[in-house]
Structure 1
């Protein structure tokens, strides 16, 4: 037995939620102009107007331990159409990582074609499925996937939520939480608000 690191042998993996949000919790479509316009949302790509020199390094730092993705259906569709074709350039390391690791897709659509290599459908029993993921992986990251995040929050099926807060806005949109707001002191991704499961 390794007495030097007694907790390491007992440790299970974690479910980590990663979101970009405005100060009042808007998390819909931060990245690109056509990323998520559902519900008539007209401000997709809003994050681009609030650049931060710390964003890239912080994202890469947060991804270092990622060895699986857990995504909602809409975010999966966005990622599956983008990342297989972006494995070079500024975001190439992230693309290579996302393409390599297992992807778990929460969907009720039994006929959904999962064309992205390494993708598996989940959602029949999330409590059991997330327990299996924790046993198989060290860090399962949930990125975006706002509607699915609401389910994870409501059922307590996560270990930590990190909100990269951007200085802006209050617009009608889907938010990262229906009951909480990001701290007003958070000015950008470098100052992150974390919430852990009780």
Structure 2
């Protein structure tokens, strides 16, 4: 399976608590729900299209807890997001979750090497996409180990000035190839990128 990550970002790179004020207040974050005013039919269509490619989901513990508290309560069989999340296999990376209640959930635990091997084993299975949504801590772990095959970054026209960022200091230097680009009616830039090796460098300095 191809491992893809979908992340909502502000212009200054914040990914924390896009969906609601109580989603994640860590770090005294007071801007939860910043995505909601930009939601439109375009974003709904993009989500529906991409989630239809999922064969399984890989989630960090915090995002798993948020999703498992919300999506099982959405029982409309015509809701494509709820249908996929509630019925497809879900893998949550955690060393503290023992008995997940959300159906079709498997815990991926152990030390760092064990988690990497477990995720690689999932990628080696046949299928479409193993999708990561949100899951900032997990996303940074996957980036460090170069396990992500495609990034889908949704950049919203808002600056918050604080909050958890996807690309934090110390991120692995990486170049990317743009594979898809869209813009919603509310000005959200939705870009897909494929990792393309290490950054190259040059100079515009004049010869002495």
Relative to the length of structure 2, the TM-score reads 0.79
Per-residue displacement from partner, 1:95-149 (whole Å, max 9, x unpaired)? 111011111001121x533110111111321322122212323200000001110
Distance in 1 (CA, whole Å) between partners of 2:45 and 2:183 is: 16
Q: Which residue of 2 aligns with 1:100?
A: 87
- Between Structure 1 and Structure 2, the one with more strand by share is 2
Give the SS at the match of 2:49.
helix
Distance in 2 (CA, whole Å) between partners of 1:38 and 1:187 is: 30
Give the SS at the match of 2:12.
coil
Unpaired runs of 5+ in structure 2?
172-177, 198-208
CA RMSD of superposed structures (Å): 2.3
Note the C-alpha offset of 1:79. Answer: 0.5
Number of positions where the alignment pairs a residue of Structure 1 with one of Structure 2:
181
**Runs of 4+ off more than 3 Å:** 185-191
Give the SS at the match of 2:189.
coil
Per-residue displacement from partner, 1:33-67 (whole Å, max 9, x unpaired)? 21111221111101112234311001111112101
Relative to the length of structure 1, the TM-score reads 0.83
Give yes or no for contact 1:146–1:176 (8 Å, CA) kept in 2: yes
Distance in 2 (CA, whole Å) between partners of 1:116 and 1:76 is: 9
Unpaired runs of 5+ in structure 1?
1-12
Distance in 1 (CA, whole Å) between partners of 2:40 and 2:159 is: 16
Say which one has the larger Rg: 2
Distance in 1 (CA, whole Å) between partners of 2:182 and 2:130 is: 25
Distance in 1 (CA, whole Å) between partners of 2:182 and 2:10 is: 9
1:37 pairs, out of 22, 25, 44, with: 25
Give yes or no for contact 1:23–1:186 (8 Å, CA) kept in 2: no
Relative contact order, CA 8 A, sep 6+: which one is greater?
1
1:170 pairs, out of 153, 160, 171, with: 160
1:196 pairs, out of 194, 197, 200, with: 194
Q: Which residue of 1 aligns with 2:175?
A: none
Distance in 2 (CA, whole Å) between partners of 1:50 and 1:93 is: 20
Alpha-carbon distance change, 93 to 87 in structure 1, aligned in 2, over 3 angstroms: farther
